[in-house]
Amino acid sequence: MVASRLGMCAAALAAAAAPMSEAQATVITFSTPINVPSTFDGIYVNLLTGGTGATGAAIVGWDFNPYNSGSALSFFWRSTPSQASGVAGTTTGPYLDLADGAVVSSASVFAQTTAAAATAAFQTPGTHTLGFRFYNENTSSVNYGFMSLTSGGANGFPLTINGWSFEDSGAAITVTTGVVPEPATSAMLTLGALALGAAQMRRVRRQQRQAAQH
Judge contact between 81 and 135, C-beta under 8 A: yes
Taking residues 53-74, report their average pLDDT: 97
* 1-5, 45-49, 126-130: the lowest-pLDDT one: 1-5
The most confident of 39-48, 74-83, 195-204, by mean pLDDT: 39-48
Question: What single DSSP character describes residue 88?
Answer: B
pLDDT score recorded for residue 55: 96
pTM: 0.73
Question: What single DSSP character describes residue 96?
Answer: P
Task: Please say if the pLDDT value at position 13 is more than 70.
Answer: no
Residue with the larger pLDDT of the pair 210 and 80: 80
Residue with the larger pLDDT of the pair 175 and 20: 175
Q: What's the whole-number average pLDDT of the chain?
A: 81
Beta-carbon contacts of residue 206 (< 8 Å; ≥ 6 apart): none
Taking residues 164-175, report their average pLDDT: 97
How far is the CA of 160 from the CAs of 60, 138, 149, 191, in angstroms?
Answer: 22, 27, 6, 32
- C-alpha to C-alpha distance for 118 and 56, rounded to whole angstroms: 22
